Amino acid sequence: MIYKLLTACLFVSVMLPGFAQEQPTRNISTYFTAEKKYLVLPVKNGATKRNLELWVDGVNTRFWDMELAEDKPDWYAYMRIDEWKGKQIELRVDKVSAASKVFDPVMQSDADTNANEYKEKLRPQFHFSPKRGWTNDPNGMVYFNGEYHLFFQHNPYGRNWGNMTWGHAVSKDLVHWAELDDAIHPNQGGPVFSGGAVVDKNNTSGLGENGKPAMVMFHTGARGWGQYMTWSTDGRNFHWYDKAVVPRINKENRDPKVIWYEPAKQWVMVLWVERGNNEQHSIQFLTSPDLKNWTPASITYGGIGNDRYLYECPEFYELPVQGMDGVKKWVLTGANTEYAVGSFDGTTFTEEERKLQNQHGRGFYAPQTFSDEPTGRRIEIGWWRTNTAEDDMDFNQSMSLPMEHKLVKTPEGIRLTRMPVKEAERLRSGKIYKAGNKTLKENSANPLKDINIELAEIHVEITPGKAKEVALNIRGVAVIYNVAAQQLVADGVKAPAPLQNGKLTLLIYADRTGLEIFANNGLMFMPVNINIDDSDRSLSLSVKGGTAKISSLEVYELKSIWQ
């Protein structure tokens, strides 16, 4: 139900001397009583941004900007206000047109509705995306109270970057997500930038209640530029610690990630810090007994300037090395996924191999892994920069598939692999096409000609033999393997994919907004963001310049997670 409430307005006319007369504008101050769950805000994609403030008990409690619709909106944003139910609220808006009646009436609603929710033509069908607004970095990824919690950088009031807030979604299976209300809003520390979360199982912080441990979250406040802490004992209601736990170290510092280091019974924080006057990237290590009091411990230096090794959004974890019994190594990485492998003694990370990379795609950035994962796996989700700010879409950007990390012994050294989690198989609809032990020549019939599919999981193992090129066309997107160069090419993106024992294994997931390609059991990951033509549901496999053997070929039709 929408309520119409009384408003009061302050008028300001604007005319610049020497210029043609501008349209009169006014700053609005509107008063209403909070009676419903949400304040409903009209958005017009591409409109002039206006600054808005919500004042409660004389405190500027919410502040944001948005492309405010002064006539017919493209969509509505919903701000939760029920915590102030019964209170008088002042809503301030700057420089709307003098004739505007945008907040007459003020609209409130108990229902968060959207006619196109999850059914838009550019909505990824099995990659998480927010129901409305912009998203970028995944944040605070943690398993708590039987749920995977995915927080994310979120602009609830527009489909472009801004108003950084932590959005919140939960899942039981890493595949199907339920989006909840935004968890952490900007305050005097500033917009809520990226960070991580842990479960304080031993209650070192004293924030647990009635035997329930606290989920403790850390982020950078993009005004104070300190590292701030919030917590929850139920995964739904969030509380602020009263000050920054790590005040600003340098002009640029952000994105705290916290882990528990069992041998020393202490917490470790990794934090990106820019040092000196030459844009020196570094990772600051800090330690704490209680999550509240932090001591600098060591520094690991990365690249300089445009060399983005160890720049932003650090991630740090330990894994066993497959093929080396009893050996474990630590992985340190930054937002562009370049990583180092080494050892850690509780205070200092020693690089043994550095500037390694197995992600060679487009649009994949700032991934994070889950803390406290119950099976002991190291599971990652990254920000996937899909191209969804088109037409009247009311959301923008998405997340990658969840992927399990492993360390493996290779002839080149210890290397990281990424592969979709086992739970991704739950996407399969039951429809499957299998064809194996085929030999393809340059003019062979297309073995996939009978398939008509939108969402697909494709497995293929190829021995190229004397063929010069193997081409897998997925709904109009060509994925081509150049045998001589041992290189994959898709929509102009190139990635190294050396043959393993003369073979190439590929796993490809196709969604509306792109492909995620995994080669050689995850030694190479190649996400390619591209909006796929809805009218093309075909698949084809062909070779050029010789004969190739297809030892395995499987195609699974996938279901939408939004059904």
User: Active-site residues: which are they?
Assistant: 137
Q: CB neighbours of 243 closer than 8 A, spacing ≥ 6?
A: none
CB-CB contact of 209 with 456 (8 Å): no
> What is d(CA 489, CA 524) in angstroms, rounded to the nearest whole number?
13
Dihedral sign, CA of 273, 276, 281, 283? Answer: negative
How remote is the C-alpha of 262 from its chain's centroid?
28
Q: Which of 10, 61, 8 is nearest to 39 (CA)?
A: 61
> What is d(CA 311, CA 301) in angstroms, rounded to the nearest whole number?
10
> What is d(CA 112, CA 374) in angstroms, rounded to the nearest whole number?
33
Q: Which of 425, 441, 419 is nearest to 550 (CA)?
A: 441
Burial class, 484, CB count within 10 angstroms (exposed 0-12 / middle 13-18 / buried 19+): exposed
Q: Which of 526, 524, 528 is nearest to 358 (CA)?
A: 524
Burial class, 503, CB count within 10 angstroms (exposed 0-12 / middle 13-18 / buried 19+): middle
Question: Quick one: tokens of 490?
Answer: 């898709």
Indicate the length of the chain as a whole number: 563
Task: Report how far apart, in Å, the C-alpha atoms of 175 and of each of 287, 352, 404, 421, 457 are.
Answer: 34, 35, 13, 9, 14
Q: CB neighbours of 242 closer than 8 A, spacing ≥ 6?
A: none
Give 362-399 as a DSSP string.
Answer: BSEEEEEE-BS-TT--EEEEEEE------TT-SEE-EE
285 DSSP β-pair partners: 270, 298
Q: CB neighbours of 113 closer than 8 A, spacing ≥ 6?
A: none
Q: Which of 212, 213, 235, 117 is nearest to 560 (CA)?
A: 117
CB-CB contact of 1 with 109 (8 Å): yes
> What is d(CA 297, CA 349) in angstroms, rounded to the nearest whole number?
10
Q: Is 172 left (phi over 0), alpha (psi -120 to 50) or beta?
A: alpha
> What is d(CA 514, CA 534) in angstroms, rounded to the nearest whole number?
12
> What's the number of CA atoms in the CB half-sphere (13 Å) around residue 94?
10
Give the start-end residues of each E strand in 185-265.
197-200, 214-220, 227-232, 239-240, 253-261
Task: Report how far apart, in Å, the C-alpha atoms of 299 and of each of 272, 282, 284, 289, 508 are.
Answer: 10, 7, 5, 19, 38
